[in-house]
Amino acid sequence: MELPILKEVVIILGLSVLIILAFQRLKLPSILGFLITGIVAGPNALKLVKASHEVEMLSEIGIIFLLFIIGIEFSLKGLAKVKKTVFFGGLMQVGGTILLVFITTYFLGLSPPQAIFMGFLIALSSTAIVLKMLHEKGQMTSPHGRIALAILIFQDIIVVPMILVTPMLAGNGGNLWLTGLSLIAKFALVVVLLIVLARYAVPVLLDKVVKTRSRELFILTIVVLCFATAWLTSSVGLSLALGAFFAGLIISESEYSHQATASILPFREIFISFFFVSVGMLLDISYFFEHFLVLIAITIGVILLKIFVVLITVLVLRFPLRTALISAFTLFQVGEFSFLLSTIGMRNALLTNEVYQSFLVISILTMGLTPFLIGYSDKMSDWLIRFGINRKVRKRLINYQNRKKKNTDEIAADLHDHLIIIGLGINGHNVARTASKAKIPYVIIELDPDIFKDGKNKGLPIVFGDAADELILNHVHAAEARVVVIAISDPEATKSIIVILRQITETAHVIVRTRHVNEIDATLKLGADEVIPEEFETSIQIFTRVLNRYLIPFDKVQSFVTHLRAHNYEILSQSGNDDQFPAHLQLHIPDMVIATLPVQRGENKIVGKTIAESGLRKNFGVNVLAIRRNNRYYTEIKPEMTIETDDMLYLFGDPAKVAELNKYLLVD
């Protein structure tokens, strides 16, 4: 039996491997490699792939999996936090882009309906590429990551009304109001249904599936939930991607969300590659070279227009200038849903063939540039802030952003020999709470408006702004600070803050929180005094508890941990070796252990018997140190004391004997 699409799959994946291997050598993004694969194998080049429609179907599955995982990681609570950005920010970005594109293309000769439709196409950005890039860089929870996701969600929602309006623009539509009301009603019904599923049905279903201990059944259940929700939203006229995102939100409320993500990731990586390949297959190489200069000029114009609109949108939302610039460099491209919309426009004669080809080239060029602009967005934003934007303009923007954020001047007025906390996440909160109890004067800098508002309502000394801007650091008297704690999760922003901070003060002790140990050296070279990597601190905390279970003395454990931290965790790294560790700290593991043993119903071998009768000491050499019964602890253990059901026995003895006892009790 021959599968018609099998040859295309082999060609696409095989060619992708070769091209991406070459791109990895050149340190180019893999997304660009997939686009090149599509261009080379497509109908306008070597014509290696003929089943282009089937490849597009596979690419749709990739988008479904991508949005599904994003939904899992974002959660309903995360979505609720950005609802203002979704609707107000999304409306500003889409509406502003449509307006500017309409004005521009109308004066270039397009009719009003064609100009409006062109605005529809340009307004949409690439959900697949942007979210994949942000996910790979670990920036989904950063301010610009949340802004990008919020605006992309709005775009996924607004594409449906755009599809409905397109025939109307061409004079071929029906009753728009009736269709629109019907769509709103269906959307509301789907949302209510999904909330009910998230709260009641799905947690119960997943709990029963997990109890079967079948990995295959768990994966199958997750995939069915994902596809069923995508199919449901598609059946009422919404996009498949939006349904997949909703499915992810449902799973995110479950305690099994992390395992769901791990199970789906391999599928996503395979199918999303087909999306980028299918996009590359659309490019007509001959048309591109025939109109090279014109197309490049139009592409630059589209990029600048979208950057301008996103920049203004994010600034109006009262985010700092740096966040606005990074967001603009993230959402400048034309998106995948524009391709779907363009085919509808072609059917309704809103696009000529030449305009359609130009649109395809511009879309693919902007998508190809996306990995580069997102990759360098931090550096470009910092450069523009430092050299490209006048200091007075920046100060006016900061004043505008703080116009409704009262008392910031009062907070900063008396700061001296104080602590500056940058970022009010979990770590920032904990540092602030500790500083407050220790009576240490401190101030917090936060650039997320919602987190700032929450901190303000709690009465915290908090200032709104971007700590990578010297004006904000000067405002909180950074030159007079004793300690600065950088507790944010964005490594690029952290580096920018350290550079600016060291231009202001050399005396402040800078403590940085980072995710990975490989960021320590670069961060220290920039001027940080201490870098605390989460991945190794977590390992230390886990191993400390392990050592406690092995009865290592507390002072020796503390010396062990102190030595690790003092040497920047080198011993835990791959390059670490035994010679780096001093002999006097070598840990001697004793041959005894303290263990807990729950006494469960049905364990007749010891239930109802006295300590002496149980044979714990005689047969296993194990001593009972204490018994917990009904939340009370009994530490004076006598031989005649009876063991009861639901007791918790605290035992001391040889590890092998304890294991032997446990095995003895489990055997019927």
Angle at 591 between CA 587 and CA 592, to 5 degrees: 110
Closest to 332 (Cα-Cα) out of 365, 379, 293: 365
| Contact of 76 with 285, CB cutoff 8 Å | no
Res 405: pLDDT: 47
Model pLDDT, residue 444? 92
pLDDT value of position 47: 83
With beta carbons less than 8 A apart as the criterion, state whether 493 and 422 touch: no
Q: Domain residues of the chain, as ranges?
A: 58-384, 391-528, 536-585, 593-666
Spell out the residues 6+ positions from residue 442 whose beta carbon is closer than 8 angstroms to its own. Answer: 418, 419, 420, 421, 431, 432, 435, 436, 461
pLDDT score, position 200 = 81
- Token look-up 């990074």 returns 326
pLDDT at position 631: 81
The string of pLDDT tens digits covering residues 392-410 is 666 666 665 555 544 555 5
DSSP 367-389: HHHHHHHHHTHHHHHHHIIIIIS
Residue ranges in the chain modelled with pLDDT below 70: 1-4, 52, 73-81, 172-177, 179-180, 388-413, 517, 535-541, 543, 546-556, 564-590, 601-604, 666-668
Residue with the two structure tokens 């600034």 = 315
- Which secondary structure element, helix H or strand E, spans residue 121, and what is its range? helix 112-123
Written as six digits, the tokens of 375 are 């990759």
pLDDT of residue 309: 96
Q: What is the largest CA-CA distance in the chain?
A: 100
Of 25, 52, 54, the C-alpha closest to 41 is 52
CATH number of 593-666: 3.30.70.1450
Minimal CA–CA distance to 549: which of 587, 497, 581?
587
Domain 58-384, second-level architecture: Up-down Bundle (1.20)
> What is the reported pLDDT for 305?
96
Residue pLDDT, tens place only, 52-68: 677 777 777 877 887 78
pLDDT of 452 reads: 86
| Spatial distance between the Cα atoms of 606 and 599, rounded to a whole number of angstroms | 8
584 within 8 A of 560, measured Cβ to Cβ: no
Under 8 Å between Cβ of 41 and 9: no
Contact 441, 418 (CB under 8 A): yes
**The predicted structure's pLDDT at residue 583:** 54
Residues 608, 620: Cα–Cα separation, whole Å = 19
Q: Which helix (H) or strand (E) holds 511?
A: strand 509-514
Report the DSSP beta bridge partners of residue 446.
464
Q: 596: part of which helix (H) or strand (E)?
A: strand 593-598
Level-2 CATH architecture, domain 391-528 = 3-Layer(aba) Sandwich (3.40)
Supply the pLDDT for residue 331.
Answer: 95
